[in-house]
Amino acid sequence: MQRVTEGPTASEMYKERFVRGYGRVPTFDETFAWRDDLDRRIADYLRQHPEIGMSPRSQQFKLHRRVAVGMMREEVTLLVGRPDAATGDVAAMQADAKQFWPQVREHATEMWVYPAGWRFYFDGDRLVDMTVAGKPPIE
């Protein structure tokens, strides 16, 4: 279990979900089509939110494509899709945050569950914390 400020990349989460769903890694063509769609969605988002496009946060989208603490729900969903599950249950969040719960509970009101052991904690619309357990992402 680790507490982190940067989470998975869009590519890591795509591959993780693809393998889980199809039992194989995506082909070059499948990955190319997914990447092309992601590029389009990122460009559309930045056009709709010019204040982000001119900020250092835009680098998370354009270059790194990595989830990071401070992002909005919409940004997280854009990069890594919808969560497998979401809960505001304090007991569930405490169980998943484990030893980090004292720090996480200060701001977390909801937890999103993603593959590969990722847990994203939100306070309203803002991502305020992340933990990860389990196997490393698929490269």
Structural contact between residues 130 and 120, judged by C-beta atoms closer than 8 angstroms? yes
Indicate if the pLDDT at residue 61 is higher than 90.
no
- In a domain, residue 138? The reply is no
Residue 137 lies in a domain: no
82 domain-assigned: yes
pLDDT band at residue 135 using 50, 70 and 90 as cut-offs: low
Q: How many domains does the chain have?
A: 1
Q: Which residue has the higher pLDDT, 31 or 60?
A: 31
Give the whole-angstrom CA distance, residue 131 versus residue 39: 27
For 53, counting Cβ atoms within 10 Å of its Cβ (0-12 exposed, 13-18 middle, 19+ buried), the class is middle
* Placement of tokens 């719960």 in the chain: 101
Identify the domain containing residue 105 by its residue range.
2-132
Q: Is there a domain that residue 139 lies in?
A: no
- Mean per-residue pLDDT for 44-53? 88
> Does some domain include residue 19?
yes
Q: What is the pLDDT of residue 137?
A: 54
Tokens of 118: 């990722």
For strands 118-123 and 2-4, give the pairing: unpaired
Which residue has 């052991």 as its token pair? 117
Compute the average pLDDT of residues 110-129.
Answer: 97
pLDDT at position 60, please? 75
